[in-house]
Amino acid sequence: MGNLVMTGIINGTDPHRPDAPGSLEEQCERMFARIPEVMKAAGGGIDNIVKLNVQMADLSQRSLLNRFWTQMFPDPAQRPVRQTAEVTLDGGKLVQCDITGWID
């Protein structure tokens, strides 16, 4: 919608093996690998992300999520806003996100 980009859910399950969702680390790795792909398809990049909403099955595992977060956004002054919530996820999903972005 104009310059505003809002995505649906981006999860970390393997689309080629939906019966084997994998560990939280594997799901985080796949989810964070998809984020730049989604933003590129929208005509931007990760620098165009304004807010990332993350839902996790277990918030006590947030440190693992943070490792991938800081790899993607190493500069604390340039990171988008992030909200992380604990929710019940289906199908073996352990983490998922959605993005709000702005592309000039």
Q: Where are the domains of the chain?
A: 4-102
Instruction: Convert the pLDDT of each residue in 11-48 to its tens digit.
Output: 998 777 767 678 999 999 999 999 999 999 999 999 99
Q: How far apart are CA 19 and CA 103, in angstroms?
A: 36
Q: What pLDDT sits at residue 37? A: 95
List the structure tokens of 23.
């560990």
| Fold that domain 4-102 belongs to in CATH | 60s Ribosomal Protein L30; Chain: A; (3.30.1330)
**What mean pLDDT is predicted for residues 88-104?**
94
CB 32 within 8 A of CB 71: yes
